[in-house]
Structure 1
Amino acid sequence: MSAKYYAPKGGHPGQEQLLTDRAIFTEAYAVIPKGTMRDIVTSFLPFWDKTRLWVLARPLSGFAETFSQYIMEVAPGGGSDRPEGDPDAEGVLFVVEGRASLTVNGATYELTEGGYAFLPPSSEWTLHNTTDDMLRFHWIRKAYEEVPGLDHPELIIANEKDIAPTVMPETEGRWATTRFVDPTDLRHDMHVTIVTFEPGGVIPFLETHVMEHGLYVLEGKAAYRLNNDWVEVEAGDYMWLRAFCPQACYAGGPGKFRYLLYKDVNRHMPL
């Protein structure tokens, strides 16, 4: 597979640019287009050197409830020996550009483009950019929900290029999902997958379900149905969908439409 993932570069638009853009924020969903990911909206984190980030989602009333999602940008020589300050947080890293040197519980791994890491809660880990090129990766965080009688899930290191996508039934191969975690492993309370639509592929009904979603478009473009609206999205755009927000999509081409998908799974509803 020769996928090329979109990653923001920042910068700032000129004064001649029109204000018109595709950003939408509603009670049911949000669309954060790639054009909004500029220098002026970056953030910084304690104990991260030569690093900035775009915050795509955070727990907030009327917005994401179960997770946070960042796009991290680490310059050469940057990184952190104290990346995560919350011992209850689990995390997923997905590299879209560059190479990361990740050390977890004393073992070191190299994550290249397409590289995936699941970090269980209380993991001892560090991450550094030891190359001469910029490193950009997604970092999805969730407070792990303990279940008596279930162990914590284990560390997973993988690359999506080495995983055969699972084709959705009765779709002639037009809709497939790359899974990094066994869906039957109930130790996991979140899944991060990659969804791929071939040109002409569709979600042919309005999905309406309990899972909250974060979708970052890695490649291509599509028309996406969110609640009552059709919106056009392309590589670099981000969508948040609250639980039960109806959704569907149509991938018109000319190339594949692919997105990184977060959802919360496998737990009772809090009462």
Structure 2
Amino acid sequence: MTDRTYYAPTGGAPKQTQLLSDRAVFTEAYAVIPKGVMMDIVTSCLPFWDKTRVWILSRPLSGFAESFAQYIVELEPKGGSDKPEPDPDAEAGIFVVEGNIVITLDGKDHAMRAGSYAFLPPKSLWTVRNKSEAPARFHWIRKSFEYVNGLDVPEAFFKHESEVEPVAMPDTDGKWATTRFVDPSDLRHDMHVNIVTFEPGAIIPFAETHVMEHGLYVLEGKAVYRLNQDWVEVEAGDYMWLRAFCPQACYAGGPGKFRYLLYKDVNRHVKLKL
């Protein structure tokens, strides 16, 4: 399989002549953060990270989506961290969209390029570096792991999307398929990070309404997405953040594939007490 191209932000600053109107929206049910929002002025730095800046796309908010945080991390050459995660109970999903990084886990190096995914369980001893001469950019999804008595904590793994066979949704002739980095039947995992692919003209033919929260980052293409009662246009580089039970559907606009990186929380009982 030929390596794909994934959209990655590069920052910059808007011109004074630019119109203020944009597609950014935040409602009680969903948020849309267009790629044009990801400028220099909205980046953050992190403790113990060198030559690094991040766009924080989502974070737990009371009354909204509460299960996860999602960053886009940009590493300059030689940038990275020897103490990346301050929370020992946090698990991580890392997906590279541009460049090359090396994650060192328990003393072993793992080279990752665009399209590579890593799962890092809680209490992992890991570091990350950009050892190349060009910038690298990756998504970092952080979630507080939900331990279950009698279930082991899942082990770390590293995969490239080309190593995972997409699974077509039933009755779609392969026009709607999901690349699953984790076996859905593996109940040790309390989150899934998938890549969803639609051929031009393919649709989600009903308004999905479910308990899972979502982060959706558009890797490629464009579509019209239904969020709650609204239809919004999205394209490569846009991010959608959905709280539980927000109705959702989409229509892939073409002319190429519409693909997005999808986070969802799974496989755990609902908490009855806050």
Counterpart residue number, 2:146: 145
CA distance in 2: counterparts of 1:151 and 1:253, whole angstroms: 43
The answer for the alignment partner of 1:86 in structure 2 is: 87
- SS across alignment from 2:204: strand
Size of the aligned set, in residue pairs, is: 271
Report the equivalent of 2:120: 119
Task: Give the secondary-structure state (helix, strand or coil) at the position aligned to 1:20.
Answer: coil
- In 1, Cα distance between the equivalents of 2:266 and 2:171? 24
Give the 5 Å matches for 1:169-188. 169-188=170-189
Counterpart residue number, 1:97: 98
Tell me the equivalent position of 2:18: 17
Aligned counterpart, 1:228: 229
The amino acid of 1:164's aligned partner reads E
**SS of structure 1 residue aligned to 2:10:** coil
Verify the 8 A CA contact 2:3 2:115 in the aligned structure 1: no
Separation of aligned partners in 1, 2:86 and 2:33: 27
Cα deviation for residue 93 of structure 1 reads 0.4
| C-alpha separation in 2, matches of 1:53 and 1:45 | 8
- Cα offsets for 1:143-178 (capped at 9, x unmatched): 000000000001110000221100001001100000
- Aligned partners of 1:2 and 1:220: how far apart in 2? 16
In the alignment, structure 1 residue 154 sits paired with structure 2 residue 155: yes
Mapped partners of 1:102, 1:240: distance in 2:
27
Instruction: Report % sequence identity.
Output: 71
Let me know the Cα RMSD of the aligned residues: 0.6
> Which residue pairs with 2:192 in the alignment?
191
> Can you list the C-alpha shifts for 1:79-121, whole angstroms capped at 9, x where unaligned?
0000001000000000000000110111110001101000000
SS in 1 for 2:41: helix
Aligned twin of 1:37: 38
**Scaled by the length of structure 1, what TM-score is found?**
0.99
Corresponding residue for residue 250 of structure 1: 251
Number of the residue aligned with 1:67: 68
Q: What does residue 110 of structure 2 align with? A: 109
Gaps of 5+ in 1: none
Contact 2:65–2:244 (Cα < 8 Å) also in 1: no
1:200-211 → structure 2 map (5 Å cutoff): 200-211=201-212
Provide the secondary structure at the position in 1 that maps to 2:119: strand
Q: Supply the distance in 2 between the matched residues of 1:77 and 1:62 (Cα, whole angstroms).
A: 39
Structure 2: runs of 5+ lacking an equivalent: none
